[in-house]
Amino acid sequence: MEPRHARNQRPSPGRTMTARFAMVASVVLIIVLAVVLAVLKPWEQPILVVEGSEPEQSQQEAQPAPQSEAQEPAPLEPLDFTISAGGDMLIHMPVADSAWNGESWDFSRLMEPVAPFIAGSDIALCNMETAMVPRDQAPSGYPIFGTPRDLADSMAATGWDGCSTSSNHSLDQGFAGVVNTIDFLEAAGLGHVGTARTAEEARQPQLYTIEGNGQKVTVAHIAAAHNTNGLPIPEEAPWAIQMIDIPVIEERARQARADGADIVVATLHCCEAEYNTAAEPFQEETAAALAASGLVDIYVAHHAHVPRPMALLEGGPNGNGMWVAYGMGNFISNQTRDATGSTESSTGMFGIFHGVKDEGEPARVVSAEWLAVTVDAGHVVRPLIGGLAEGAVLPADEMAYRYSLMQQILEGGPATEVAAPPSNEGHTTTVIQRSS
């Protein structure tokens, strides 16, 4: 008889078979897992990040990457800008009649051929020679002008940005006309200077800003007139019109620069010798004084009704010189050779002054161009480039003759004839309303 403990250690046949089966199953399971791991390669799969949590990083990955040296921003591109000025807006009744369309006065149609030069300028300034009247008042012409208020809307539609309003006809409609003219210009979104509704407004220049290429230029416009055709300045509003007073003009320019103006334009409506294409001594004296002050960049003159020479005087801001146009002539009028004895009164000058603002440097005016504009049949204003007026009704030889007179006036001056309209693409111009 075997010992008890020896019998208990001998496996039974059933238990032996079970053990062998378990061993085989384990091996098969290991093989299957190995195949699955080899196919799926979970160590190469992206880590699933639950929103609001972050995947764990190794100590090496968690360390911040070394910072590279800070790169300085690229310098700003220069801002090239243009300030343009036109001649007298002299709305005789025949001009108003040509603008009448049966319901309103549409002057924009008369200015359409020149519109690319006006609208393409960053700032386009006119000389509003005449006072405007409301729609319920009949317009009038020479000698006491009352221009339809629709002119302001037409000018805005054409691309003008503002006007000087001081002239010998500013008081034709009294102080009410001064107020109406300013109100109508403001309603059209246009700037204005030279006349005022209040003493506070009279002390302020008209400001404009030009922005582009990450830079901004502030332009101040100041204006004054030589006379009022004998009409009295209102006793209750002695500030209604600014008269030419060089110390006052210099003080206005000085204050404008102190308030942030980069460029100052002075428009002076003077003097006595109408229809004379030569600069007058008084103009030359005032221009020399303003140039010597170092406060004014551009001096523009009106009232002669004919073009006059341009010049670049020594002095000006930072010693860069001051640009002068001694007479812009008429932009639109009914003045013809028969009416005035001067062919030049049918032709005016549109001056384009080019400026530049380099980063970190003061803005400056660097060059000037001129465009001859003439009044065609039906009072349509057309550009005269190289003696040609595209679409003109008047004979070609008449247009060539007018152009030759302009050439003679500007010959030898510092400005060149424009070849194409300026472009303000990418620039933004803002009219800053004066406080009244």
pLDDT band, very low/low/confident/very high, at 64 (cuts 50, 70, 90) = low
Q: Are 193 and 182 in contact (CB under 8 A)?
A: no
Is the pLDDT at 37 greater than 50? The verdict is no
pLDDT in tens, 88-109: 999 999 999 999 999 999 999 9
Q: Is 367 exposed, middle or buried (0-12, 13-18, 19+ CB in 10 A)?
A: middle
Find the mean pLDDT for residues 4-25. 40
Mean pLDDT in residue range 174-186: 98
Among 51-55, 278-282, 390-394, 419-423, whose mean pLDDT is lowest?
51-55
Give the chain's domains with CATH numbers.
79-429 (3.60.21.10)
Of the candidate ranges 37-51, 141-155, 212-226, 386-400, the one whose mean pLDDT is the lowest? 37-51
pLDDT in tens, 117-150: 999 999 999 999 999 999 999 999 999 999 999 9
Segment 364-380 mean pLDDT:
97
Alpha-carbon distance 129 to 360, whole Å? 39
3-state secondary structure of 219: strand
Over residues 27-35, the mean pLDDT reads: 49
Of 178, 134, 186, residue with least CA distance to 156 = 186
With the CA atoms of 280, 205, 435 and 350 taken in that order, what torsion angle do they form, in degrees rounded to the nearest 10? 70
d(CA 67, CA 75): 23
Whole-number Å distance between alpha carbons of 281 and 278: 9
C-alpha span between 291 and 313 (Å, rounded): 7
Q: Mean pLDDT check: name the lowest of 3-12, 207-216, 272-281, 426-435.
A: 3-12
Question: For residue range 313-336, what is the model confidence (pLDDT) as tens digits?
Answer: 999 999 999 999 999 999 999 998
Count Cβ atoms within 10 A of the Cβ of residue 419 and give its class: 0-12 exposed, 13-18 middle, 19 or more buried: exposed
The H or E element that residue 278 is part of is none
DSSP string, 315-337: -SGGGS-EEEES-B-EEE-S--H
Q: Which of 18-22, 372-376, 400-404 has the lowest mean pLDDT?
A: 18-22
3-state secondary structure of 277: coil
Instruction: Tell me the two tokens of residue 2.
Output: 């075997």
pLDDT-based confidence at residue 435 (cuts at 50, 70, 90): confident
Q: What is the pTM of this model?
A: 0.83
Asked whether residue 217 carries a pLDDT value surpassing 70, the answer given is: yes
Task: Write out pLDDT tens, residues 261-307.
Answer: 999 999 999 988 899 999 999 999 999 999 999 999 999 999 999 99
Burial of 352 (0-12, 13-18, 19+ CB in 10 A): buried
